[in-house]
Copies of this chain bind each other. A is one copy, B any other.
Amino acid sequence: MTGPIYTPLVESLPSTVPFVGPETQERERGREFTARIGANESVFGPSPKAIEAMTRAAAEIWKYGDPENHDLRHALAAHHGVKPENITVGEGIDGMFGYLNRMLVEPGVTVATSLGAYPTFNFHVAGYGGRLVTAPYVDDREDPESLIALAKAEGARLIYFANPDNPMGGFWEAAAMKRMIESVPDGALLCLDEAYIDFAPEGAALEIDPDDTRVIRFRTFSKAHGMAGARVAYAIAAAPLVTAFDKVRNHFGVNRVAQAGALAALADREWLAEVKRRVAEARARISKIAEANGLTTLPSATNFVAIDCGGDGAFAKAVLDGLIARDIFVRMPFVAPQNRCIRVSAGRPADLDAFEAALPGALADARAG
Protein backbone atom coordinates (compact mmCIF):
# COMPACT_ATOMS: atom_id res chain seq x y z
CA MET A 1 0.00 0.00 0.00
CA THR A 2 1.80 3.10 -1.21
CA GLY A 3 -1.17 5.36 -0.65
CA PRO A 4 -2.43 7.94 -3.10
CA ILE A 5 -0.13 9.50 -5.68
CA TYR A 6 -0.41 13.27 -5.64
CA THR A 7 0.37 15.54 -8.56
CA PRO A 8 3.95 16.87 -8.38
CA LEU A 9 2.57 20.36 -7.73
CA VAL A 10 0.42 19.29 -4.80
CA GLU A 11 3.22 17.10 -3.49
CA SER A 12 5.39 20.21 -3.35
CA LEU A 13 2.90 22.31 -1.38
CA PRO A 14 3.05 22.70 2.39
CA SER A 15 -0.02 21.76 4.47
CA THR A 16 -0.61 25.26 5.55
CA VAL A 17 -3.25 27.53 6.99
CA PRO A 18 -3.10 31.13 5.76
CA PHE A 19 -4.51 32.36 9.07
CA VAL A 20 -4.75 30.76 12.49
CA GLY A 21 -8.31 31.32 13.69
CA PRO A 22 -9.11 32.88 17.07
CA GLU A 23 -10.85 29.66 18.11
CA THR A 24 -7.57 27.78 17.66
CA GLN A 25 -5.81 30.31 19.87
CA GLU A 26 -8.58 30.08 22.44
CA ARG A 27 -8.23 26.30 22.57
CA GLU A 28 -4.46 26.59 22.96
CA ARG A 29 -4.76 29.24 25.65
CA GLY A 30 -7.51 27.38 27.46
CA ARG A 31 -9.69 30.46 27.67
CA GLU A 32 -11.74 32.76 25.48
CA PHE A 33 -10.79 36.20 24.26
CA THR A 34 -12.51 39.17 25.91
CA ALA A 35 -12.39 41.18 22.70
CA ARG A 36 -12.41 39.62 19.23
CA ILE A 37 -10.95 42.51 17.24
CA GLY A 38 -8.30 40.78 15.14
CA ALA A 39 -9.95 39.51 11.95
CA ASN A 40 -11.72 42.70 10.79
CA GLU A 41 -15.05 41.03 11.36
CA SER A 42 -17.97 43.39 11.95
CA VAL A 43 -18.66 42.96 15.66
CA PHE A 44 -21.79 45.09 15.13
CA GLY A 45 -23.30 42.09 13.42
CA PRO A 46 -25.48 41.80 10.34
CA SER A 47 -28.68 43.69 9.69
CA PRO A 48 -31.48 42.51 11.98
CA LYS A 49 -33.41 41.94 8.76
CA ALA A 50 -30.67 39.60 7.54
CA ILE A 51 -30.87 37.64 10.81
CA GLU A 52 -34.63 37.49 10.43
CA ALA A 53 -34.29 36.26 6.83
CA MET A 54 -31.76 33.60 7.85
CA THR A 55 -33.92 32.43 10.73
CA ARG A 56 -36.89 32.18 8.40
CA ALA A 57 -34.83 30.24 5.83
CA ALA A 58 -33.33 27.81 8.37
CA ALA A 59 -36.26 25.40 8.18
CA GLU A 60 -35.76 25.18 4.40
CA ILE A 61 -32.12 24.20 4.72
CA TRP A 62 -33.10 20.73 3.45
CA LYS A 63 -33.18 22.26 -0.04
CA TYR A 64 -29.99 22.79 -2.01
CA GLY A 65 -29.35 26.44 -2.68
CA ASP A 66 -30.08 27.84 -6.12
CA PRO A 67 -26.87 27.08 -8.08
CA GLU A 68 -27.44 30.21 -10.18
CA ASN A 69 -27.75 32.41 -7.06
CA HIS A 70 -30.39 34.06 -9.24
CA ASP A 71 -32.17 36.36 -6.84
CA LEU A 72 -29.00 37.63 -5.19
CA ARG A 73 -27.23 38.08 -8.51
CA HIS A 74 -30.14 40.08 -9.92
CA ALA A 75 -30.39 42.22 -6.80
CA LEU A 76 -26.66 42.92 -6.94
CA ALA A 77 -26.86 43.81 -10.62
CA ALA A 78 -29.66 46.30 -9.93
CA HIS A 79 -27.73 47.71 -6.98
CA HIS A 80 -24.59 48.30 -9.05
CA GLY A 81 -26.35 49.29 -12.25
CA VAL A 82 -24.86 46.41 -14.23
CA LYS A 83 -26.34 43.32 -15.86
CA PRO A 84 -26.74 40.00 -14.00
CA GLU A 85 -24.32 38.64 -16.62
CA ASN A 86 -21.64 40.79 -14.98
CA ILE A 87 -22.05 39.23 -11.53
CA THR A 88 -20.88 35.90 -10.19
CA VAL A 89 -21.52 34.87 -6.59
CA GLY A 90 -19.27 32.56 -4.61
CA GLU A 91 -18.32 31.16 -1.21
CA GLY A 92 -16.47 34.19 0.10
CA ILE A 93 -13.67 36.10 -1.59
CA ASP A 94 -11.16 33.45 -0.48
CA GLY A 95 -13.01 30.74 -2.38
CA MET A 96 -13.41 32.98 -5.42
CA PHE A 97 -9.69 33.83 -5.42
CA GLY A 98 -9.16 30.09 -5.68
CA TYR A 99 -11.35 29.92 -8.78
CA LEU A 100 -9.70 32.96 -10.36
CA ASN A 101 -6.20 31.59 -9.84
CA ARG A 102 -7.28 28.21 -11.14
CA MET A 103 -8.48 29.81 -14.35
CA LEU A 104 -5.38 31.88 -15.05
CA VAL A 105 -2.47 30.37 -13.17
CA GLU A 106 -0.34 27.29 -13.76
CA PRO A 107 3.38 26.60 -13.53
CA GLY A 108 5.17 29.19 -15.67
CA VAL A 109 2.62 31.94 -15.07
CA THR A 110 3.66 35.05 -13.17
CA VAL A 111 1.43 36.89 -10.71
CA ALA A 112 2.18 40.29 -9.20
CA THR A 113 1.16 41.59 -5.80
CA SER A 114 2.49 43.86 -3.08
CA LEU A 115 4.91 42.49 -0.51
CA GLY A 116 2.82 42.03 2.64
CA ALA A 117 -0.59 42.12 0.92
CA TYR A 118 -3.39 39.58 1.47
CA PRO A 119 -1.75 36.17 2.11
CA THR A 120 -4.74 34.02 1.12
CA PHE A 121 -4.41 35.33 -2.42
CA ASN A 122 -0.77 34.19 -2.37
CA PHE A 123 -1.87 30.81 -0.96
CA HIS A 124 -3.91 30.26 -4.12
CA VAL A 125 -1.16 31.51 -6.45
CA ALA A 126 1.21 28.96 -4.89
CA GLY A 127 -1.55 26.34 -4.94
CA TYR A 128 -1.74 26.55 -8.73
CA GLY A 129 2.00 26.71 -9.24
CA GLY A 130 2.24 30.39 -10.11
CA ARG A 131 5.39 32.48 -9.72
CA LEU A 132 4.70 35.37 -7.36
CA VAL A 133 6.57 38.64 -7.79
CA THR A 134 6.11 41.50 -5.35
CA ALA A 135 6.47 45.26 -5.23
CA PRO A 136 7.01 46.89 -1.85
CA TYR A 137 4.48 49.17 -0.18
CA VAL A 138 5.26 52.87 -0.60
CA ASP A 139 4.40 55.07 2.37
CA ASP A 140 2.42 52.18 3.86
CA ARG A 141 0.19 51.83 0.84
CA GLU A 142 0.18 49.41 -2.05
CA ASP A 143 1.63 51.38 -4.92
CA PRO A 144 -0.20 51.19 -8.28
CA GLU A 145 2.65 52.58 -10.35
CA SER A 146 5.42 50.32 -9.15
CA LEU A 147 3.10 47.31 -9.15
CA ILE A 148 2.09 47.89 -12.77
CA ALA A 149 5.74 48.51 -13.71
CA LEU A 150 6.67 45.22 -12.05
CA ALA A 151 3.83 43.39 -13.79
CA LYS A 152 5.03 44.74 -17.15
CA ALA A 153 8.66 43.90 -16.50
CA GLU A 154 7.86 40.39 -15.32
CA GLY A 155 5.04 39.63 -17.76
CA ALA A 156 2.47 39.01 -15.04
CA ARG A 157 -0.85 37.61 -16.15
CA LEU A 158 -2.65 38.49 -12.92
CA ILE A 159 -2.17 41.51 -10.64
CA TYR A 160 -3.59 41.73 -7.12
CA PHE A 161 -4.50 45.07 -5.60
CA ALA A 162 -6.72 45.85 -2.62
CA ASN A 163 -8.50 49.18 -2.34
CA PRO A 164 -8.84 50.04 0.50
CA ASP A 165 -5.83 48.09 1.62
CA ASN A 166 -5.52 45.36 4.22
CA PRO A 167 -3.47 45.21 6.52
CA MET A 168 -2.56 48.93 6.55
CA GLY A 169 -5.98 50.51 5.94
CA GLY A 170 -5.10 53.15 3.33
CA PHE A 171 -6.88 53.79 0.06
CA TRP A 172 -6.48 55.43 -3.32
CA GLU A 173 -8.92 57.87 -4.87
CA ALA A 174 -11.00 56.68 -7.81
CA ALA A 175 -8.88 58.73 -10.22
CA ALA A 176 -5.75 56.82 -9.25
CA MET A 177 -7.52 53.49 -9.61
CA LYS A 178 -8.83 54.52 -13.00
CA ARG A 179 -5.26 55.32 -14.08
CA MET A 180 -4.14 51.96 -12.73
CA ILE A 181 -6.78 50.06 -14.71
CA GLU A 182 -5.83 51.94 -17.88
CA SER A 183 -2.21 50.94 -17.45
CA VAL A 184 -2.89 47.21 -16.98
CA PRO A 185 -0.70 45.54 -19.59
CA ASP A 186 -2.34 43.73 -22.45
CA GLY A 187 -3.09 40.11 -21.56
CA ALA A 188 -3.08 40.79 -17.83
CA LEU A 189 -6.02 40.99 -15.45
CA LEU A 190 -6.26 43.25 -12.42
CA CYS A 191 -7.82 41.48 -9.44
CA LEU A 192 -9.22 44.40 -7.50
CA ASP A 193 -10.15 43.41 -3.96
CA GLU A 194 -12.78 45.85 -2.68
CA ALA A 195 -13.69 43.96 0.49
CA TYR A 196 -13.47 47.15 2.56
CA ILE A 197 -14.86 49.63 0.02
CA ASP A 198 -18.00 50.30 2.07
CA PHE A 199 -15.87 51.95 4.77
CA ALA A 200 -13.95 54.23 2.42
CA PRO A 201 -14.66 57.93 1.87
CA GLU A 202 -16.87 58.83 -1.08
CA GLY A 203 -13.83 59.66 -3.20
CA ALA A 204 -12.84 56.01 -3.36
CA ALA A 205 -15.98 54.95 -5.18
CA LEU A 206 -14.68 53.98 -8.60
CA GLU A 207 -17.33 53.97 -11.28
CA ILE A 208 -17.96 50.54 -12.70
CA ASP A 209 -17.51 49.77 -16.36
CA PRO A 210 -18.57 46.14 -16.35
CA ASP A 211 -17.36 45.55 -19.88
CA ASP A 212 -13.76 46.46 -19.10
CA THR A 213 -11.90 43.18 -19.60
CA ARG A 214 -8.82 44.40 -17.73
CA VAL A 215 -10.31 44.23 -14.25
CA ILE A 216 -12.37 41.99 -11.99
CA ARG A 217 -13.69 43.52 -8.77
CA PHE A 218 -14.44 41.51 -5.66
CA ARG A 219 -16.96 42.49 -3.01
CA THR A 220 -18.10 40.63 0.07
CA PHE A 221 -20.82 40.31 2.68
CA SER A 222 -18.14 39.47 5.27
CA LYS A 223 -17.12 43.00 6.24
CA ALA A 224 -19.60 45.91 6.33
CA HIS A 225 -22.55 43.51 6.04
CA GLY A 226 -21.36 41.56 9.08
CA MET A 227 -21.73 38.08 7.59
CA ALA A 228 -18.17 36.68 7.58
CA GLY A 229 -19.38 33.28 8.78
CA ALA A 230 -21.93 33.01 5.97
CA ARG A 231 -19.45 32.82 3.09
CA VAL A 232 -21.01 35.02 0.44
CA ALA A 233 -19.05 37.24 -1.90
CA TYR A 234 -19.30 38.27 -5.51
CA ALA A 235 -17.28 39.53 -8.42
CA ILE A 236 -18.16 42.18 -10.98
CA ALA A 237 -16.52 41.60 -14.36
CA ALA A 238 -17.03 41.41 -18.08
CA ALA A 239 -19.56 38.75 -19.03
CA PRO A 240 -17.08 36.29 -20.63
CA LEU A 241 -15.04 36.17 -17.42
CA VAL A 242 -18.17 35.73 -15.31
CA THR A 243 -19.22 32.86 -17.57
CA ALA A 244 -15.77 31.28 -17.24
CA PHE A 245 -16.33 30.86 -13.48
CA ASP A 246 -19.02 28.32 -14.40
CA LYS A 247 -16.25 26.08 -15.75
CA VAL A 248 -14.69 25.58 -12.35
CA ARG A 249 -16.93 26.77 -9.55
CA ASN A 250 -18.77 24.59 -7.05
CA HIS A 251 -22.19 25.32 -8.49
CA PHE A 252 -24.20 24.37 -5.43
CA GLY A 253 -21.57 25.80 -3.09
CA VAL A 254 -23.30 28.85 -1.60
CA ASN A 255 -25.32 28.06 1.51
CA ARG A 256 -29.05 28.56 0.90
CA VAL A 257 -29.64 30.44 4.15
CA ALA A 258 -26.65 32.67 3.43
CA GLN A 259 -28.14 33.60 0.04
CA ALA A 260 -31.34 34.69 1.79
CA GLY A 261 -29.38 36.61 4.43
CA ALA A 262 -27.24 38.41 1.86
CA LEU A 263 -30.31 39.43 -0.10
CA ALA A 264 -31.85 40.99 3.02
CA ALA A 265 -28.55 42.58 4.05
CA LEU A 266 -28.11 44.22 0.66
CA ALA A 267 -31.56 45.81 0.92
CA ASP A 268 -31.00 47.27 4.38
CA ARG A 269 -29.11 50.48 3.59
CA GLU A 270 -30.00 51.95 6.96
CA TRP A 271 -28.16 49.24 8.82
CA LEU A 272 -25.14 49.70 6.57
CA ALA A 273 -25.12 53.43 7.35
CA GLU A 274 -25.40 52.65 11.06
CA VAL A 275 -22.46 50.21 10.86
CA LYS A 276 -20.35 52.78 9.03
CA ARG A 277 -21.17 55.33 11.71
CA ARG A 278 -20.18 52.94 14.50
CA VAL A 279 -17.02 51.93 12.66
CA ALA A 280 -16.01 55.59 12.27
CA GLU A 281 -16.56 56.08 16.00
CA ALA A 282 -14.52 53.01 16.81
CA ARG A 283 -11.66 54.09 14.56
CA ALA A 284 -11.56 57.48 16.31
CA ARG A 285 -11.56 55.79 19.70
CA ILE A 286 -8.75 53.38 18.71
CA SER A 287 -6.67 56.40 17.62
CA LYS A 288 -7.36 58.13 20.92
CA ILE A 289 -6.33 55.05 22.88
CA ALA A 290 -3.14 54.80 20.83
CA GLU A 291 -2.35 58.48 21.34
CA ALA A 292 -2.95 58.22 25.07
CA ASN A 293 -0.24 55.56 25.05
CA GLY A 294 2.18 57.69 23.07
CA LEU A 295 1.58 55.84 19.78
CA THR A 296 0.48 57.01 16.35
CA THR A 297 -2.04 55.48 13.99
CA LEU A 298 -2.29 55.29 10.23
CA PRO A 299 -5.23 56.81 8.37
CA SER A 300 -7.88 54.13 7.76
CA ALA A 301 -10.53 53.71 5.07
CA THR A 302 -11.51 50.34 6.53
CA ASN A 303 -13.02 48.84 9.68
CA PHE A 304 -9.63 48.56 11.38
CA VAL A 305 -6.75 50.78 12.41
CA ALA A 306 -3.04 50.06 12.09
CA ILE A 307 -1.25 51.33 15.20
CA ASP A 308 2.43 52.12 14.80
CA CYS A 309 4.01 50.67 17.94
CA GLY A 310 7.06 52.88 17.44
CA GLY A 311 9.63 50.12 17.17
CA ASP A 312 10.52 47.27 14.85
CA GLY A 313 8.61 44.09 13.98
CA ALA A 314 9.90 42.26 17.05
CA PHE A 315 8.66 45.04 19.29
CA ALA A 316 5.20 45.11 17.69
CA LYS A 317 5.07 41.32 17.99
CA ALA A 318 5.82 41.64 21.70
CA VAL A 319 2.99 44.15 22.07
CA LEU A 320 0.68 41.81 20.15
CA ASP A 321 1.67 38.88 22.37
CA GLY A 322 1.01 41.02 25.44
CA LEU A 323 -2.45 41.86 24.17
CA ILE A 324 -3.22 38.24 23.41
CA ALA A 325 -2.01 37.27 26.88
CA ARG A 326 -4.51 39.85 28.16
CA ASP A 327 -7.31 38.20 26.17
CA ILE A 328 -7.41 40.71 23.32
CA PHE A 329 -7.42 39.08 19.89
CA VAL A 330 -5.59 41.31 17.38
CA ARG A 331 -3.32 40.62 14.41
CA MET A 332 -0.41 42.40 12.71
CA PRO A 333 1.20 42.80 9.28
CA PHE A 334 3.72 40.15 8.22
CA VAL A 335 6.37 42.19 6.48
CA ALA A 336 8.81 45.00 7.41
CA PRO A 337 8.46 47.92 7.78
CA GLN A 338 4.65 47.50 8.02
CA ASN A 339 5.15 44.96 10.79
CA ARG A 340 6.05 47.81 13.16
CA CYS A 341 2.25 48.05 13.50
CA ILE A 342 -0.52 46.04 15.06
CA ARG A 343 -3.93 45.93 13.43
CA VAL A 344 -6.99 46.54 15.58
CA SER A 345 -10.51 46.01 14.23
CA ALA A 346 -13.36 48.38 15.01
CA GLY A 347 -14.95 47.10 18.20
CA ARG A 348 -18.01 47.81 20.30
CA PRO A 349 -17.42 50.13 23.25
CA ALA A 350 -16.92 47.14 25.56
CA ASP A 351 -14.35 45.61 23.19
CA LEU A 352 -12.41 48.85 23.07
CA ASP A 353 -12.69 49.30 26.85
CA ALA A 354 -10.93 45.95 27.17
CA PHE A 355 -8.34 46.98 24.59
CA GLU A 356 -7.78 50.29 26.37
CA ALA A 357 -7.28 48.49 29.66
CA ALA A 358 -4.85 45.96 28.20
CA LEU A 359 -2.65 48.15 26.00
CA PRO A 360 -0.54 49.92 28.66
CA GLY A 361 0.49 46.62 30.27
CA ALA A 362 1.25 45.04 26.89
CA LEU A 363 3.41 48.03 25.97
CA ALA A 364 5.19 48.04 29.32
CA ASP A 365 5.95 44.33 29.02
CA ALA A 366 7.22 44.79 25.47
CA ARG A 367 9.45 47.65 26.56
CA ALA A 368 10.74 45.64 29.50
CA GLY A 369 11.56 43.03 26.83
Does chain B have a CB within 8 A of A331? Answer: no
Does chain B have a CB within 8 A of A136? Answer: no
Query: Would B91 and A61 count as touching, CB distance under 8 A?
Result: no
Query: Would A62 and B39 count as touching, CB distance under 8 A?
Result: no
Query: Would A23 and B229 count as touching, CB distance under 8 A?
Result: no
How many Å lie between the Cα of A252 and that of B238 in the bound state? 27
24 CB-based A-B contacts, threshold 8 Å: A1-B186, A1-B213, A2-B187, A3-B214, A3-B241, A4-B104, A4-B187, A4-B241, A7-B102, A10-B102, A10-B104, A13-B248, A17-B246, A17-B251, A39-B63, A41-B63, A54-B257, A55-B58, A58-B261, A62-B228, A64-B228, A91-B253, A95-B253, A229-B255
Query: Would A230 and B250 count as touching, CB distance under 8 A?
Result: no
How many Å lie between the Cα of A50 and that of B13 in the bound state? 37
Instruction: For A1, list chain B residues within 8 Å (CB).
Output: 186, 212-214
Query: Would B240 and A257 count as touching, CB distance under 8 A?
Result: no
**Given A4-B213, A7-B104, A68-B21, are A51 and B62 neighbors across the interface (CB < 8 Å)?**
no
Most chain B CB atoms below 10 A, which of A2, A62, A94: A62
How many Å lie between the Cα of A229 and that of B254 in the bound state? 8
Within 79-102 of A, Cβ neighbours of B (below 8 Å) are at 91-92, 94-95, 98, 102
Does chain B have a CB within 8 A of A279? Answer: no
**Given A7-B104, A15-B244, A247-B13, are A62 and B44 neighbors across the interface (CB < 8 Å)?**
yes
Query: Would B228 and A10 count as touching, CB distance under 8 A?
Result: no
Does chain B have a CB within 8 A of A113? Answer: no
Query: Would A230 and B256 count as touching, CB distance under 8 A?
Result: yes
Closest beta carbon of chain B to A266's beta carbon, Å: 15
Does chain B have a CB within 8 A of A14? Answer: yes
Query: Would B103 and A4 count as touching, CB distance under 8 A?
Result: yes
Copy number of this protein in the oligomer? Answer: 2
Within 96-137 of A, Cβ neighbours of B (below 8 Å) are at 98, 102-106, 109, 127
Instruction: For A21, list chain B residues within 8 Å (CB).
Output: 64, 66-68, 252
Query: Would B213 and A244 count as touching, CB distance under 8 A?
Result: no
How many Å lie between the Cα of A4 and that of B91 in the bound state? 22
Within 195-230 of A, Cβ neighbours of B (below 8 Å) are at 212-214, 222, 226-230
In the A-B complex, the 9 residue pairs with the smallest Cβ-Cβ separation, listed nearest first, are A229-B256, A3-B213, A15-B246, A4-B189, A23-B66, A13-B247, A62-B226, A61-B229, A64-B228
Is chain A's binding surface mostly helix, strand, loop or mixed?
loop
Closest beta carbon of chain B to A215's beta carbon, Å: 10
B41, B157, B254, B256: the one within 8 Å of A5 (CB): B157
Contact flags A26-40 to B (C-beta < 8 A → 1, else 0): 010000000010010
Query: Would B229 and A63 count as touching, CB distance under 8 A?
Result: yes
How many Å lie between the Cα of A63 and that of B329 in the bound state? 13
Instruction: For A42, list chain B residues within 8 Å (CB).
Output: 62
- The chain B residue sitting closest to A228, CB to CB, is B64
Query: Would A16 and B214 count as touching, CB distance under 8 A?
Result: no
